[in-house]
Structure 1
Amino acid sequence: MKPGVPVCVLGAGAWGTALAVHAACRGDTVLWARDAELLAQMRRRGENTRYLPGIELPQGLRFEESTVAALRHAAGQGLVVLAVPVAALRELARSLRDCWARGDAQAPAALLILAKGFEQGSAALPHQVVAQELQGLARAPAVGMLSGPSFAQEVARGLPVALVAAGAPALTRCAVRALHGAAMRVYASDDLAGVAVGGAVKNVLAIACGVSDGLQQGANARAALITRGLAEMARLGHALGARQETFMGLSGMGDLVLTCTGELSRNRRVGLQLAAGKDLQAVVRDLGHVAEGVYTARTVLELARSQGLQMPITEQVCALLERRTDAAGALEALLAREPRTESESPESGDAS
């Protein structure tokens, strides 16, 4: 049965396109992109050859280059999905606010963010960026995030995936109604801070795991990095108001394991290439996609330090990205740390 929630996906990168493919198989869905040439190519070929090659787009999926027309599709009781990187999120949110404030389109019931990371400069999480831009809007939609262990290619192919929609009840109800079904399970959470922090920090830790794998340090080392990385993630999340149990769920441990071990992980690929001695700028250029961990690492470390927390894995990732050490030096620095008890309290800032 069709869920009856019109969906508007803003952003036709790999993840935005994949979610639009899933949503279009369940209900009326529009995919928007700023790049008119990309949209024309998708209409013509029935495939997003730039970001999601090999995936046939559903015939029911519609494409729209007009922001106003796309937003009108989800006006009232619909769901708008923001599928752009963190760096582009504020500008897009501002354009939506202006559109709704002018009355060009009615605001939707819910606004769901896919971006994972912290905004450079402000250190704001994605939902905070959007909330700041929507302040003062007479009828603002409920704002939340969708996260969890998910590679776009697998979602687009209809393979099983479990995600978590985080936000107020109105947001999670709308997201679950629009997206839960077929091979996708969508769980609800009210710990927006926890889900956002998990999605941001796991990308940094995936770079560390890629470095370890690139140096052929073995499965034991990878497991240690994931486990101690999870401790770093939870430590920062606790300081920013998140609940500890969130980090044992899909947006914490689940996404961390996938991003640190999966062959499709862009951030892990960055680590692998850095371990091989390649230049960071060349690695990022050759990816063709955004690897958020590269841009998030410094912000994560500065936030930790402002809270009096130790995040040694993140610290070494920053040193490597900023060319203050090489891959072997980063590994040596981690191994040289003094021994500690495993279960330090988050307040102590003493673990890892």
Structure 2
Amino acid sequence: MQHASVTILGTGAWGSVLATLAANNGHSVRTWSRRSGSLDEAVQTADVVISAISMNGVTDVATQLQAIALPAHTILVTATKGLDAATLSTPSQIWQRMLPDHAIVVLSGPNLSKEIAQGLPAATVVASQDIAAAAMVQTVLASDRFRVYTNTDPLGTELGGTLKNVIAIAAGVCDGLNLGTNAKSALLTRALAEVIRIGTRLGAKPETFFGLSGLGDLLATCSSSLSRNYRVGYGLAQGQPLEQILSELQGTAEGVNTTNVLIDLAKQQTIPVPVSWQVYLLLNGKITPRAAVETLMERDLKPEA
């Protein structure tokens, strides 16, 4: 395996796990956060820069990197799941727009950081239109406990990981209301169709959403209390105020911001998003959890496909 110099931007749970995976493979690893010092020093010799910062920090950090003389060969990997409120862009679109001379790789999959930190087996996807860059990142992170696949659909890979956070809130509501397995299965199936509809309208490949970064991530996030977005929905179903739920979470529930941005995007592109719309109404205090479920059940009858 080629030795690489790797810099991780973000020292939260996910960033720390990625740093450990790379270090365990014998690579030189540096970490950076807003409190840890010079970004310039952290990235100046990096072969691979992995961004695990929250969505609201992506544009700012990308702007800082624009002013730094990154090595020409440096690969930029985005492990952030979200949408930018100002531009309706995904993280990789921001990185590509602001640093167009560097290969951009998207990392996404059913990756609950706490389980990976415990050494439990997991798999993920690294996607890029630059096949060599994706293969490089694959070798940096892959191990006998962390299987890494590649594909050439970064947008679909990114949207699968981003949009499932909205659905995870709905899944948490379903479980919080004790609606049963039948209801949750129906919700996730129809939600997957909604995610595919959004993704393909935006230019992603439909088959990507049946892989690890789509269906795989959806199943993991919608069935585990380790998921912060699931816990948001569960808490709302239990009658807790959103502000209280968010204050008690250890980390960011990206699905809250993503939902609001997604609705703006869906309106702009005229994409039907019935499940996401009910999540939006719920998060903004315009409907109760039970009323949201009843609204979905009372929609006009139609063919499944």
- Does 2:50 match 1:81? yes
Question: 269-278 vs 280-289, which deviates more?
Answer: 280-289
Equivalent-residue separation in structure 2 for 1:200 and 1:25 (angstroms): 28
**One-letter code of the match for 1:141?**
H
- Give secondary structure in 1 for the equivalent of 2:77: strand
Q: Give 5+ residue unaligned stretches, structure 1.
A: 37-64, 344-352
**One-letter code of the match for 1:99?**
I
- Give secondary structure in 1 for the equivalent of 2:175: helix
Equivalent-residue separation in structure 1 for 2:73 and 2:224 (angstroms): 35
Distance verdict in 2 for CA 1:279–1:107, change over 3 Å: farther
What corresponds to 1:240 in structure 2?
Answer: 202
User: Contact conserved, 1:146 with 1:166, CA < 8 A, in 2?
Assistant: yes
User: Contact conserved, 1:131 with 1:143, CA < 8 A, in 2?
Assistant: yes
> Of 51, 64, 67, which aligns to 1:98?
67
Equivalent-residue separation in structure 2 for 1:197 and 1:208 (angstroms): 17
**One-letter code of the match for 2:80?**
A
What corresponds to 2:164 in structure 1?
Answer: 202
Displacement of 1:91: 0.5
What corresponds to 1:66 in structure 2?
Answer: 38
Equivalent-residue separation in structure 2 for 1:200 and 1:181 (angstroms): 25
Displacement of 1:321: 0.4
What corresponds to 1:61 in structure 2?
Answer: none
Displacement of 1:107: 4.3
What corresponds to 2:298 in structure 1?
Answer: 336
Equivalent-residue separation in structure 1 for 2:3 and 2:14 (angstroms): 22
Taking only the aligned residue pairs, the percentage that are identical comes to 39
| Higher Cα radius of gyration | 1
After superposition, where does 1:249-260 map in structure 2 within 5 Å?
249-260=211-222
User: Contact conserved, 1:142 with 1:170, CA < 8 A, in 2?
Assistant: no
What corresponds to 1:29 in structure 2?
Answer: 29
**One-letter code of the match for 1:338?**
D
String of CA shifts for 1:269-324, please: whole Å, max 9, x gaps: 00000011111111111113110110010221222232222111100000000111
> Of 81, 105, 108, which aligns to 1:144?
105
Equivalent-residue separation in structure 1 for 2:271 and 2:210 (angstroms): 20
Equivalent-residue separation in structure 1 for 2:300 and 2:284 (angstroms): 24
Displacement of 1:31: 1.4
**One-letter code of the match for 1:8?**
T
What corresponds to 2:89 in structure 1?
Answer: 124
What corresponds to 1:48 in structure 2?
Answer: none
Equivalent-residue separation in structure 1 for 2:292 and 2:73 (angstroms): 47
User: Contact conserved, 1:11 with 1:33, CA < 8 A, in 2?
Assistant: yes
Equivalent-residue separation in structure 2 for 1:22 and 1:73 (angstroms): 19
Equivalent-residue separation in structure 1 for 2:21 and 2:210 (angstroms): 26
**One-letter code of the match for 1:29?**
V
Q: Give 5+ residue unaligned stretches, structure 2.
A: none
Displacement of 1:108: 4.4
- Give secondary structure in 2 for the equivalent of 1:155: helix
String of CA shifts for 1:47-71, please: whole Å, max 9, x gaps: xxxxxxxxxxxxxxxxxx3212211
- Give secondary structure in 1 for the equivalent of 2:209: helix
What corresponds to 1:309 in structure 2?
Answer: 271
Equivalent-residue separation in structure 1 for 2:206 and 2:301 (angstroms): 24
TM-score calculated relative to the size of structure 1? 0.83
**One-letter code of the match for 2:53?**
V
**One-letter code of the match for 1:261?**
S
Q: Which runs of 4+ in 1 moved over 6 A?
A: none
Displacement of 1:29: 1.1
- Give secondary structure in 1 for the equivalent of 2:222: helix
Aligned length, in residue pairs: 303
Equivalent-residue separation in structure 2 for 1:141 and 1:309 (angstroms): 32
Equivalent-residue separation in structure 1 for 2:245 and 2:133 (angstroms): 37
Displacement of 1:121: 2.0
Give the superposed CA RMSD.
1.3
What corresponds to 1:9 in structure 2?
Answer: 8
- Does 2:95 match 1:133? no
User: Contact conserved, 1:5 with 1:177, CA < 8 A, in 2?
Assistant: no
> Of 114, 120, 136, which aligns to 2:79?
114
What corresponds to 1:154 in structure 2?
Answer: 115
TM-score calculated relative to the size of structure 2? 0.96
